[in-house]
Structure 1
Amino acid sequence: MLAKIEISNFKNFKENFVFDLSNTSSFSFNQECIKNKVVNKAIVYGHNGSGKSNLGFAIFDLISHITDKKTEPSYYKNYLNADLDSQIASFKFEFRFDKNILEYSYTKSDYQTLISEELKINGKEYLFIDREKSSIFRTSAKGAENLKKDIGDSNISIINYLSKNTILDDNKDNNIFFKFKEFVNKMLYFKDVDGRNFLGLEQGGHSIFDDIVERNNLKDFEKFLNDAGIICKLVSKKGSESNNVVYFKFKKKEVVFSEIASSGTKALALFYFWYQRIKEENRVSFLFIDEFDAFYHHSLSKTLVEKLKELENTQVILTTHNTSIISNEILRPDCYFLMYPDRITSLAKSTTKELREAHNIEKMYRAGFFE
């Protein structure tokens, strides 16, 4: 699980912006929101321009060089902070796998160009390179003793170089290394209500309705919408390009779903698309949904958070402006985070007052109690 990220000189983040998911408290309620002493379900609040979307892009900067997935360049324009002179952005991640801690730090001059990398497992160096000083990397990985350590002018991550060019021994450190690789490969970010753009697990164009129909989930999707208060009947037909087209079925006629569905209904379709895939296949290790309920009624937002809480093996971070779901009935004070341009802090760490389950933390938030 992701336990902490420190960011410097990336987009709106200047120096040492820290998002710590491991600084939890000892609340006795909603304990399923914490796993291995790390926040497993989190909701982030912040004013427009505070950097909520950029926080997601910072976390998913990993995938551009650790995985084989392509990163959408438009997400990473203006990579460096415009107020600083430094030409290098730095990132430090801390992951926890059971009782083991893996730290991965790196620097970049842009989203494609790596400068340095360091990976530690339980405090001991596992991989290291500083390309400004040498093209030769160090590794303590067992099984890599005869691997060529000089990568020349290649910009390949030494993580990928190591995993693709040698067969590592079966030992504790190597197993943690591969758990890290697998976790990053299964991370997913999405926001676009039309379902066209994703980061991580899957990217680019993807037909939501082809997926729903081919999985024989159309009736279940219909029920999902009805349960959400959108009373409808759905049918599907083959389109001109042999794709599956979903229609709302009325008494007199059938109308293409995408032509009359509201933005909120389209957003629900995208949510359902991913939720079914995550739930059925256990494919996603980490899920970041930006402005997850921008088009939803507040009661529906609560329902969707409860559904996401059912995903025990998926760490979830949501961003929102909806204060109605700040409630101890849904999460707990150490799972709600307040974000500002220079810091992010949980509600639990934003006050010296002891918070209890009976407290109305939304009312306290609106009153400025946590400011």
Structure 2
Amino acid sequence: MLAKFKVSNFKSFEKNFSFDLTDTNGYTFNDGCVVNGIVNNALIYGHNGVGKSNVGLALFDIIEHLTDQNKSESEYSYYLNAYNDADCAEFYFEFLIDCKKVVYEYKKTDYKSLIFERFSIDDLELAFIDRTLSDNANFNFEGAENLRTEIKNNELSILKYVKNNTSLEDNENNKIFNKFFDFIEGMLFFRSLQKNQYLGYELGNKNVHDEFVEKYDIKELETFFNKAGIECKLDVIESLEKKTLVFDFNGKHIPFFSIASQGTRALALFYYWFKKVTNETKIRFIFVDEFDAFYHHELSALIVNQLKNTGIQFVLTTHNTSIITNELLRPDCYFLLDKKGIRSLSKRSSKELREAHNIEKMYKAGSFNG
């Protein structure tokens, strides 16, 4: 699980932005929202332009140099913060894997260029390089003793280099190292404001329509839509050897993506990824930006509950205050982002928040603006 994240000099984060998922309050309700003392289900609120999307982009910067998964380099064109005079962005990730603290730190001058990396398990340093001093890396993995240590290519992560060029000994730290990579390769970021845009998890850019008609039970999608309040009948027709998802109006067929509303398209995209979450076991972490931009508030709550039931750690950004409720999550799972940083609602109030409190009403009244 992701436990803590820090970044500085990246996009809108000038200095020392910290997202701490371990700073919980021990509430006894909705206890499944926190696992092993770490927030497993998080919603982020904040004004437009405050940096909610950049939280996701900062978290998913890690996939560029550690994985071969889908990336969007254009999202990282303007990399360093304009107000910071430093020549690199600094990233700190802390994970809990098999009850061990796993820390990965790195620095980049741009999206691809690494100048510093450090990896440790329970404070035991296993990999280190500082290219401002030397191109030589230090490795303390059992099984990596014969690796060449001079790595001049600053676009090559020393961790990926170890993973791809060694058969590590079968010991506890090396198993955790492999599970660390499983987590990173199982990270998924997506948004549905205009199109199927995603980072991580898969190679290439998938065609949602083609996967619907080739892989999914359309009647299940129809049931999902009707449960969400979108009354419809769906079908797949084949013409000129091409299958097309359609609305069925008493036998009259109209292509789904030709007339579906933006909200219905966004819901279809959610279903597309949700099926992958439930049918495949590789996804470890999900970040959905503006997850309910086109949803009715009841549908937003349905989506959160669907994600909760998967057990996968997720972070969602939203402006929808109607789902700030203790029936859905709990005060230490709702985060408010502003120019001062990001903290949970429970840490933004001196008042002891209880299950009976109407935290949406308190939020609108400005009780958490301090």
How does the TM-score come out when normalised to structure 2? 0.97
Between the aligned partners of 1:71 and 1:228, the Cα distance in structure 2 is 31
Distance 1:206 1:163 in 2: 27
Matched letter for residue 309 of structure 1: K
Are 2:118 and 1:118 equivalent residues in the alignment? Answer: yes
Letter in structure 2 aligned against 1:279 = T
2:287 is matched with 288
Unmatched 5+ residue regions in structure 1? none
Q: Quote the offset at 1:208 in angstroms.
A: 1.9
Counterpart CA distance in 1 for 2:242 and 2:67 is: 30
- Residue 70 of structure 1: CA displacement? 4.6
> Residues 231, 18 of structure 1: CA spacing in aligned structure 2 closer, same or farther, 3 A cutoff?
same
1:351 maps to 2:349: yes
Identity of aligned residues (%): 49
Q: Which stretches in structure 2 are left out of the alignment for 5+ residues?
A: none
Q: Paired residue for 2:368?
A: 370
Q: Give the conservation status (yes or no) of the 8 Å contact 2:10–2:80.
A: yes
How many correspondences in the alignment? 369
Q: How has the CA–CA distance of structure 1 residues 133 and 45 changed in structure 2, closer, same or farther, with 3 Å as cutoff?
A: same
Letter in 2 for 1:68: D
Residue identity in the other structure for 2:112: Q
Q: Secondary structure at the match of 1:24?
A: coil
Q: Give the letter aligned to residue 319 of structure 1.
A: T
* Residues 195-220 of structure 1: per-residue CA shift (max 9 Å, x gap): 43210012653222322332341000
1:147 match: secondary structure: coil
- Corresponding residue SS for 2:32: helix
Shift of 1:280: 1.4
Q: Distance in 2 between matches of 1:69 and 1:180?
A: 15
Bigger CA drift: 319-328 or 227-236? 227-236
Please report the TM-score for the alignment, with normalisation by the length of structure 1: 0.97
Moved more, 360-369 or 67-76: 67-76
Which one of the candidate residues 324, 333, 342 is aligned to 2:340? 342
Partner SS, residue 332 of structure 2: helix
Q: Is the 8 A contact 2:70 2:204 kept in 1?
A: no
Aligned to 1:145: 145
Please tell me whether the aligned partners of residues 196 and 269 of structure 2 are also in contact (alpha carbons under 8 angstroms). no
Matched, 1:108 2:111: no
Q: Deviations over 1:270-319 (max 9, x none)?
A: 0001101111112310000000000000011001101000011x111000
Report how far residue 85 of structure 1 moved: 1.1
Alignment of 1:45 onto 2:49: no
Contact conserved, 2:127 with 2:138, CA < 8 A, in 1? yes
Q: What amino acid sits opposite 1:158 in the alignment?
A: I
Secondary structure, aligned partner of 2:335: strand
The one-character-per-residue Cα deviations of 1:129-150 (angstroms, maximum 9, x if unpaired) are 0111111100111111111111
3-state DSSP of counterpart to 2:237: strand
CA contact 2:105–2:118 (8 Å) conserved in 1: yes
Equivalents in 2 of 1:259, 1:119: separation in Å?
49
Local SS of the residue matching 2:342: strand
Moved over 6 A (4+): none
Cα deviation for residue 86 of structure 1 reads: 1.1
Query: Cα gap change, 1:321/1:154 in structure 2, threshold over 3 Å: closer, same or farther?
Result: closer
Aligned to 1:86: 86
* 3-state secondary structure, aligned to 2:109: strand
**After superposition, what is the alpha-carbon deviation per residue over 1:3-53, rounded to whole angstroms, capped at 9, x for unaligned?**
111110000001100000111111000011111211001000000011000
